[in-house]
Each structure stands twice: as structure tokens, then as C-alpha cells.
Amino acid sequence: MSRPFTRIEGEPRNPTAAAFSGVSTSTLTTVASGAIEAALLRELRPRGFLFLCVANSARSQMAEGIASSLAPAGVKVFSAGSQPASVRPEAVAVLKEIGIDISHHRSKSVDEIPAAEVDTVITLCGEEECPLFLGRARRIHWGLPDPAAVTGSDEERLQSFRAVRDELHRRLKAVFVG
């Protein structure tokens, strides 16, 4: 089975290894992309997640919605961007297809996020430079393609949003459910 997303040239193969000192070696067995990060995060039990991309209009909004639906009680979930734009209607539509309502979401700047409540930052930029978060948090990079950059018919654009939604759901389910 081919992977729908590939590592971007120059992206570290394991950008989070240094952030997880003291984690047992049994956690490091993996067969699928993202499984190491998921296992480490389950073991570390983060209490606050921040999903970042440039516009906070698609990937990070979908990640916030999916994570909020899967995270246990008490886990805070935020999303933000360095250049906030309007939430993409396609993101709202494809999450609605799986029973998650983000129609009330708005794009937020990184400056609006309470840094003290975030212990894990997941950047989602694939092609662009990801924004920085200056808080004290472990950082993970999931380089996903920007579905908003896809041109074509309405259905082709929706398919690109569905592909990113499904990949986010797969990874976040591994983090929160196992």
C-alpha cells in the first residue's frame, strides 16, 4: 500500500526524537508512519495541543476539530496560524461528513493562544514555512499537503480536503485511542 504523503526533502526523518528523553525503549517499536510519535504522546499524556499552519484555515482547523472529538476530557486543543485567514468551507464540509462541526471555528493568530496551556505543538505545513510558537512545548512536524492549494473541480478540491482529513484522523486516532 502506498503512503498518501511523503517526507519532504530536507525534513528530518524523526524530528521529535530529541523532545522525548526518558521515554521507554518499548515505545519505539513501530511499523507505520506517525506511530512513534503517537506512542510517545500516549505515554507522555500531553494536556494541551496546538496545531499550527500558516493560514489556520484548513489543516490546523481540521486537526483541532478531529482532536477535540477524540481527546479525553481535560485535554485542551487549539489551532492557530502566522497569517490567519477565513476557515475554508471545504474543511467545514468534509468534517461535517464525519459528524464533526467546526462551523463555529475562526482563524486565530499564534499570539491568541495561551502558551501556558500548550505542552505539545504539531506543525502541519507541507510546502510552506511553518509558523513558530515560542512557548515551552515539545514540537512535532506532520508535513501535510495544503488541500486549499489544489485547483480543479469542486469535487477534486473536496477530495484533497478528504485525503488530509483522513490522514489527520488516522494519526490523531493513534494518539488518543491507540
* CA 105/CA 62 separation, integer angstroms: 10
User: Is 118 a known active-site residue?
Assistant: no
Catalytic residue among 53, 62, 102, 140: 53
Q: What whole-number distance in Å separates Cα of residue 166 and Cα of residue 124?
A: 14
Closest CA to 142 of 160, 122, 158, 162: 122
Among 40, 102, 124, 130, which one carries the catalytic annotation?
Answer: 130
DSSP string, 102-122: -TT----BGGGS-GGG-SEEE
Respond yes or no: is residue 81 known to be catalytic. Answer: no
Confirm whether 82 is a catalytic residue. no
Sheet architecture: strand order including 120-123: 76-81, 48-53, 120-123, 138-141
Q: Which of 100, 118, 125, 172 is catalytic?
A: 125
Q: Which residues are part of the catalytic machinery?
A: 53, 125, 130
